[in-house]
Amino acid sequence: MKVIVDLDKCQDHGQCVFAAPKVFSLNAEGHLEFVAEPGESEREAVEDAADVCPVQAISLEG
């Protein structure tokens, strides 16, 4: 599974961090960081994160 974030769209709302804390985080400056290829056990959490992104910047591949 590959996580893709459209960084042109991403505005660091951080909703994904609540949905999938093992995959998404905000760094000290408040900007998004994420694990690009998380394990299969994170699939449902990443789906949730994609759902709750206010600007719909997250997608999954594979």
Partner 1 sequence: MQRVVIIGASLGGLRSAESLRSSGFTGEIVVIGDEPHMPYNRPPLSKDALKGDLSHEAVAFRVRANASDVQWWLGHPAVSSDLGSRTVTLANGDVITFDGLIAATGLRPRRLDLPGPAADAVAGRHTLRTLEDAQRLRAQLEPGSRVVILGAGFIGCEVAATVSALGCYATCVAIDPLPMVAALGTELAAEVKRRHEAHGTRFRLSTGIESFLGTDRITGVRLGTGEELEADVVVEAIGSVCNTEWLEGNDLDLTNGVLTDNALRLLTTSGEAFERVYAVGDIARFPNPLFDEVPRRIEHWSIPTDTGRRAAPLMAAALGTDHDAFEAAASVPFTPMPAFWSDQYDLRLQAFGIPSIADTATLLEGSLDGELVMGYLRHDVLVGVTAIGMTKQVAAYRSTIGQPIASLEETTS
Q: Which is nearer to partner 1, 38 or 50 (CB)?
A: 50
11 is a contact residue toward partner 1 (CB under 8 A): yes
15 is a contact residue toward partner 1 (CB under 8 A): yes
Choose, by CB under 8 A, the member of 4, 7, 36, 55 that binds partner 1.
55
CB of 36 to partner 1, least distance (A): 19
Structure tokens at 40: 């299969």
47 is a contact residue toward partner 1 (CB under 8 A): yes
DSSP string of the chain?
-EEEE-TTT-----HHHHH-TTTEEE-TTS-EEE-SS--GGGHHHHHHHHHH-TT--EEEE-
